[in-house]
Structure 1
């Protein structure tokens, strides 16, 4: 992996977050989960190395799961430190190895930072007669073919497929997949039981119903004094959202509150359904004003994702919240976005949507629900 980085901020950058995710059987999560439970990916086999220019970079582990790793690549080594200061540019590279038994024949890159150019090259022995194709997806769009094909070249028995895009939108995901000619077709493994939606959310690190943190009001931040803690909570939420979105399509948008990642502080992030929308960060939020006009729509909760509940909510709401620097804000949200925000504010008050449902009504199972992947509708 090669990244050219430009520090456009006001503080020196001292580390870079690198992610390694594997999926041997895309589209078959239960089969992949069974494989990685019995044969987890390890750092020993990854043999991860990183460099900033000619300088080796040390690294520290942030997350270590069976099929998902995150590491901080440090702009430092045992001999020296080399932060990336405001206005400076540099190139970092990092390499790792994964066996075909664990990797799968695909490569995916999500655009999480403003990016000028994304380029992917795949090299195969030409004797394997490789073919390559690709797809693109976003927060609200399902997989669609790449707008341009991968270009193929050959050099001394190696077939190289290269695909490039300029100025990719934030939160876009690009996937390249390949097929190789094989004389010995893969033998199917014994099928594993299909995990429930709640099981998948548990594996993604989402706290499940019954944990006391979900029914305890979250502690507000003292801002700006606790700005570092607030930043850390928001980053944990964004990381959790990335893990969850890899498992489920959210046509209505989605949100995540800090208690759901076991952080008992008043922070939440909401992802609007629009493809180009930026995450909405809410610190110390509370309802300042709510419309008397309401509607009822089905909601899901990542902390008990096997059911959907019909929940009454105001059609318009004003939320009081605080910037990291302590500046108070009032923001109005309407319709589906108001519903998403109120759901997360409830979490921070120790409430679940079951507490908001009309008396005598109960959630329905996912199998009964017909709105998965579709936005709410309003007249």
Structure 2
């Protein structure tokens, strides 16, 4: 039996892989409500892609996020599916406040799914985003949701988790990660 590498599996599911220029470029914001139809289309494409990805891989423990650049669309839209909540749609999101308190957990990225990396993230963030109708909404996210959302907003700003790792820290192969006790599918733990 031929085993497909995780990154190849994601590529086959339509996820743009590390090294593609679109992942290093800031995404273009939507002019809402004028571009509502375009925003709705992109969000629909993100949800469809997430469904394909969920059928191939279990994200029930930590949740799943996907930003438009990861499916080849350079627009400022992302969807985050926390493990125990409804999907969070983010249009033109920006972090307006972040707690000084951070933690460092292993993260994966669909755009280079062969590795996992220890990434420091704030435990609480405030995010401003725009609704399809053009109004501004502000929400506060904590712990795992804050980590997922910060990761996706980074994608919209042309940043990857590699840009957030502490100096000297390197990603590790998935097989090595599975030996850390934080194996895929387990929720992040917070004290």
- How much does 1:340 deviate? 0.1
- 1:266 partnered with 2:51: no
Match of 1:107 in 2: none
- How much does 1:233 deviate? 0.4
For the pair shown, the structure with the greater C-alpha radius of gyration is 1
- How much does 1:334 deviate? 0.1
- How much does 1:254 deviate? 0.8
Q: Secondary structure at the match of 2:177?
A: coil
Match of 1:373 in 2: 185
Q: Secondary structure at the match of 1:213?
A: helix
Q: Distance in 2 between matches of 1:278 and 1:375?
A: 17
List alignment gaps of at least 5 residues for structure 2.
Answer: none
When the two chains are superposed, the root-mean-square deviation of aligned CA atoms in Å is 0.6
Q: Whose helix proportion is higher, 1 or 2?
A: 2
TM-score (norm 1): 0.49
- 1:225 partnered with 2:37: no
Per-residue CA deviation, residues 195-238 of structure 1 (Å, 9 max, x unaligned), is 00001000000000011000000000000000000000000000
Q: Secondary structure at the match of 1:345?
A: helix
- From 342, 363, 370, the equivalent of 2:171 is 363
- TM superposition outliers: structure 1 runs of 4+ over 4 Å: none
Q: Distance in 2 between matches of 1:278 and 1:295?
A: 24
TM-score (norm 2): 0.96
Q: Whose strand proportion is higher, 1 or 2?
A: 1
Per-residue CA deviation, residues 24-70 of structure 1 (Å, 9 max, x unaligned), is xxxxxxxxxxxxxxxxxxxxxxxxxxxxxxxxxxxxxxxxxxxxxxx
**Which aligned pairs between 1:297-316 and structure 2 lie closer than 5 A?**
297-316=105-124
Q: Distance in 2 between matches of 1:209 and 1:232?
A: 24
Q: Secondary structure at the match of 2:37?
A: helix
- How much does 1:365 deviate? 0.7
Q: Secondary structure at the match of 2:70?
A: helix
Which structure ranks higher in relative contact order (CA pairs < 8 Å, sequence separation ≥ 6)? 2
Q: Distance in 2 between matches of 1:243 and 1:298?
A: 23
Q: Distance in 1 between matches of 2:35 and 2:184?
A: 38
Match of 2:151 in 1: 343
- How much does 1:369 deviate? 1.1
- How much does 1:278 deviate? 1.3
**Which aligned pairs between 1:1-379 and structure 2 lie closer than 5 A?**
191=1, 193-250=2-59, 251-274=61-84, 277-370=85-178, 371-379=183-191
List alignment gaps of at least 5 residues for structure 1.
Answer: 1-190
Q: Distance in 2 between matches of 1:334 and 1:219?
A: 26
Q: Distance in 2 between matches of 1:278 and 1:314?
A: 22
- How much does 1:320 deviate? 0.7
Q: Distance in 2 between matches of 1:260 and 1:360?
A: 26
Q: Distance in 2 between matches of 1:362 and 1:291?
A: 25
- How much does 1:322 deviate? 0.4
Q: Secondary structure at the match of 2:152?
A: helix
Q: Distance in 2 between matches of 1:246 and 1:226?
A: 31
